[in-house]
Amino acid sequence: MFLKSVHIENYNQFENLELDLTYPEGHAKAGEPLEKICIIGDNGTGKTTILELIRDYYNYVWENPEEWKLPDLEKYANSSISFNNLDKPERFDFWRDSAGAKIIYFPTGIDVEELFSKVGNYESNSSEEEQYINRVNKERELDHKLDLTESLFVYNLKNTQVLIIWERLKSKIRPSIEEELSYRRSLLKGLNEQNEAELDDIYNKFKAYKKKNPNGYDDLAEFLNPLLNKFHLKLNTKINLDKFDEIEFLSLIDKDGNIIPIEKWSTGIRQLIYTVLPLYALKPKTGIIMIDEAENSLYPSTQRSIIDFYKSVCPDMQLIIATHSPILASSFEPWEVIELKFNEKGKVERKPYFKGENHVDNYHIRPMYLQWDSLFMKMFGLENDSNEVRNDMLMELAILKRDLKNSNGKDKKELQEKYEKLAEQLDWATL
């Protein structure tokens, strides 16, 4: 299920917003729903509102599955469906694939600290029996909260503790750990520790086994490490598999192998784990992922790769993000970008990036072709490509250059030094 179009009439800042969310003419996938969408726009243009409307509408449909009739949803427009604070119902058209439908929503304004707050508070000293009961109870809780096997469901990350996700992931990883432990035990059975050749043989066998059968935790490390490396961290794989159930949460180490306790994780790491871990744990196959303010707490170099990373985690899901980041926007094709703008009447509309027919050849803005300052100015409404002080200093530089050209006297060297120093401060490459 992918979102194909959105129509909002007379709601808040929207008067008659029509969003065609399909590939344009001339594209190999013309007419099909976009695989990724980026919503940008000034504060108050309704980026979050659109995500929430999709979520709420979808919840409604889920709660009334008998009403789910595609593609004709016209009746909702004139029915008495109650949306959140809506005077008039909005209508969304969905394109549904055979595998069913799901939405995973990462809202903004989440207290990431709070989501991580219970990590480390587990009763690790409880008896084995108590641990088992705890685990069963947790899994029941998880089944209730996280079951995505239903055909229609909105999974809102707002109220979900990251710890619950971790427990879910552990339950998925556990069989592979048990398998590895069992293989290890079978290898070590009847081992003569004095026989070095036998020890080498066992070591090589185990190495070959690991290469062929990485356990779930190894897979997780392989998945997370490229991203963690950007923060100069990696997943600690030196764990005691015999006590796998007691692992409270992900353990991260720095380049020297020092464990970084969770309370010392940066907000950026927490933010990333908040989005990436559920996607990895749940491995959703179809449907929509919506992330509000997807750039939150991420350094520009991480922002550059995050969209590709999300797509690599869930390649068959439709990714919809709202952002204020030109770097994130530069990961999208122009037909995938929805720039919301206030018109003269104070209503919000979509700024078209094409002239004439909606055809790939008619797009005059290509985010991937632009430098960051051009993105700011062409898509993010910034009037200037720099601070005004730079502009004033460029004028000073032009005056110095003119004086330098006109000077034949002893002040020429001094002028040259001044000119080159200022040019360096202004960045020669950009002059």
Partner 1 sequence: MRKIDKSILFSTVYKTWLEDLKANNKLHPSYDTYRKYYNDVKFELLRCQLGLCAYTEIELCEEDILTAENWTNGKYDFDKEATQASGHIEHFDPKLKPKKGWLWTNLFMVDNHINTPVKGTQEVDDIMKPDADDYDPKDRLEFDSELNKYIPSANKTPEEQERIKKMVKVLGLNYGHISRKRKSFIKTLKERIETDTFKPEAYEGEPFPTALAFILSEKNID
Binding site for partner 1 (CB under 8 A): 377, 383-386, 388, 391-392, 394-395, 397-399, 401-403, 406, 431
CB of 16 to partner 1, least distance (A): 18
Cis status of the peptide bond prior to 71, with omega within 30 of 0? yes
**247 Cβ contact list (under 8 Å, min separation 6):** 170, 239
**Complex with partner 1: residue 5 or 386, whichever CB lies closer:** 386
CB of 385 to partner 1, least distance (A): 6
In eight-state DSSP terms, residue 352 is: P
CB of 331 to partner 1, least distance (A): 24
Phi–psi pair at 296, nearest 5 degrees: -45, 125
How close are the terminal C-alpha atoms of the chain, in Å? 49
**1 Cβ contact list (under 8 Å, min separation 6):** 94, 95, 96, 97, 100, 101, 102, 286, 287, 288, 318
CB of 112 to partner 1, least distance (A): 36
CB of 389 to partner 1, least distance (A): 11
Phi–psi pair at 36, nearest 5 degrees: -145, 145
Provide the edge-to-edge strand list for the sheet that holds 259-260. Answer: 233-235, 252-254, 259-260
**Complex with partner 1: residue 245 or 385, whichever CB lies closer:** 385
CA angle 337, 91, 314 (to 5 degrees): 45
* d(C-alpha 250, C-alpha 157), whole Å: 19
Residue 57 near residue 154, CB atoms below 8 Å: no
**Complex with partner 1: residue 181 or 393, whichever CB lies closer:** 393
CB of 334 to partner 1, least distance (A): 19
* d(C-alpha 399, C-alpha 66), whole Å: 74
**Complex with partner 1: residue 239 or 426, whichever CB lies closer:** 426
Tokens linked to 124: 């690790």
**373 Cβ contact list (under 8 Å, min separation 6):** 385, 386
Buried b (16+ CB within 10 A) or exposed e, 40-73: bbeeebbbbbbbbbbbbbbbbbbeeeeeeeeeeb
**Complex with partner 1: residue 222 or 427, whichever CB lies closer:** 427
CB of 341 to partner 1, least distance (A): 15
* d(C-alpha 80, C-alpha 5), whole Å: 21
**Complex with partner 1: residue 219 or 392, whichever CB lies closer:** 392
**Complex with partner 1: residue 146 or 400, whichever CB lies closer:** 400
Phi–psi pair at 43, nearest 5 degrees: -60, 135
CB of 66 to partner 1, least distance (A): 47
Beta pairing partners, 321: 38, 291
**Complex with partner 1: residue 253 or 394, whichever CB lies closer:** 394
CB of 251 to partner 1, least distance (A): 49
* d(C-alpha 375, C-alpha 239), whole Å: 45
* d(C-alpha 100, C-alpha 291), whole Å: 21
**Complex with partner 1: residue 82 or 430, whichever CB lies closer:** 430
**Complex with partner 1: residue 133 or 398, whichever CB lies closer:** 398
**How many C-alpha atoms does 147 have within 13 Å on its Cβ side?**
8
CB of 70 to partner 1, least distance (A): 39
